[in-house]
Amino acid sequence: MGRAAHAIGVKVAAGRLTGVRADLDGTHLQTFSAPFDETAVNPFGALSELLAPHVAAVDDAPLLGVGLGVPGFVDSRTGLVEAPLLGWRHMPLRDYLSQLLDLPVLVDNDVNTLAAYEHLYGLGRPYDDFLTITLGQGVGAAVVSGGDLRRGGHGAAGELGHLPIDPEGPACHCGRRGCLETYASDSALVRQARAAGAVGPDAGPADLRAAADSGHPGAQEVYRAAGARLGTVAAGLATVLDPQAILVSGEGTLAWTHLADGFLTALRAGMFPPLVDAVNVHVDPWDDTKWALGAAALVLRAPFTMNAEPHTDAIRARLAAFPGAEVTQ
């Protein structure tokens, strides 16, 4: 019996990091989470220090590498990470972290890693064409079409949070005004609820949810309106891309009972009519471990892809260097 190949997958979010060590069959052998200061002077050094003990803990099996999901995208022209939500611009995350950890590192958009999880292990398994829409600190999307993730011509496909809604709208962290995220992210919902007097000036997302749970009509209206805006946008995406299903996920789904009516009503009203009854909608309960597992899967699948990218070759080489290593599939 050989030793199964492992990978470490990490979801990087503002203030928080969630990781797993996983087998290819989706079994997570270990999970970990830690506070993470993305605004630190050297955030990659901090990331490396947080990951080093988990890398060192794997001594009985080939560790192929580390996969990272970040709330941004990897520019396919430069290989650099653009993650405005973290304040990271033109950051050489992959190469720098790979040097610090002395391991192959792959980086992808975090919603792409979630979609990889869904397709391999989750609600996306029955589908070759689906959309993943995520709600929370930001608003994101991933497109799986013909069984493959679509990253677009520059690596930035699925930046749903920056869909333009109103050029005169609230300022967005991307530098523009009135993006979808400025109406439907967690912080946008809280801002609207504070302005409407539905919650106090120091309230956060959990306070807004509690107000809506207790029946506060102003709080419930904030969610309904945001749900309707998201539903209209999802209807547009579905009309263009014709998915078999829309999967809604992320921390924002904790308030799904309040978002659902607005979302589903607007989705049905806005979608190309012949598709209305043909597109399934599933809500996947929030769990950051799934995103991290998808990030690990990027690494575990790499030896079997045709991708000739240098870090993919390095992962293949590590697998080949362990005689008797087995990759369960």
Which residue ranges make up the site for Zn ion (CB under 5 A)? 162, 172, 174, 179
Q: For the chain, how many residues are written?
A: 329
Cβ pair 251, 285 in contact under 8 A: no
Cβ pair 174, 168 in contact under 8 A: no
* 3-state SS, residue 2: coil
Shortest separation between residue 293's beta carbon and Zn ion, angstroms: 28
Shortest separation between residue 107's beta carbon and Zn ion, angstroms: 21
Nearer Cβ to Zn ion (10/172): 172
- Single-letter residue type at 37: D
H/E stretch holding 29 reads strand 28-36
Nearer Cβ to Zn ion (172/255): 172
Shortest separation between residue 248's beta carbon and Zn ion, angstroms: 20
Shortest separation between residue 173's beta carbon and Zn ion, angstroms: 7
Shortest separation between residue 250's beta carbon and Zn ion, angstroms: 17
Q: End-to-end distance of the chain based on CA atoms, in angstroms?
A: 15
Measured at the CA of 256, the angle between CA 253 and CA 262, to 5 degrees, comes to: 130
Cβ pair 287, 123 in contact under 8 A: no
H/E stretch holding 296 reads helix 288-301
CA distance 18 to 113: 13
Positive or negative: CA dihedral 161, 167, 172, 175: positive
Nearer Cβ to Zn ion (87/217): 87
Shortest separation between residue 287's beta carbon and Zn ion, angstroms: 26
Shortest separation between residue 172's beta carbon and Zn ion, angstroms: 3
Nearer Cβ to Zn ion (171/210): 171
* 3-state SS, residue 186: helix
Shortest separation between residue 153's beta carbon and Zn ion, angstroms: 19
Shortest separation between residue 164's beta carbon and Zn ion, angstroms: 8
CA distance 20 to 121: 15
Question: What is the number of other CB atoms lying within 10 angstroms of the CB of residue 153?
Answer: 8
Nearer Cβ to Zn ion (51/81): 81
What is the Cα Rg of the chain in Å? 20
Cβ pair 311, 104 in contact under 8 A: yes
Return the C-alpha torsion angle 152, 153, 159, 162, nearest 10.
Answer: -150
Query: Residue with structure tokens 């659902």?
Result: 260
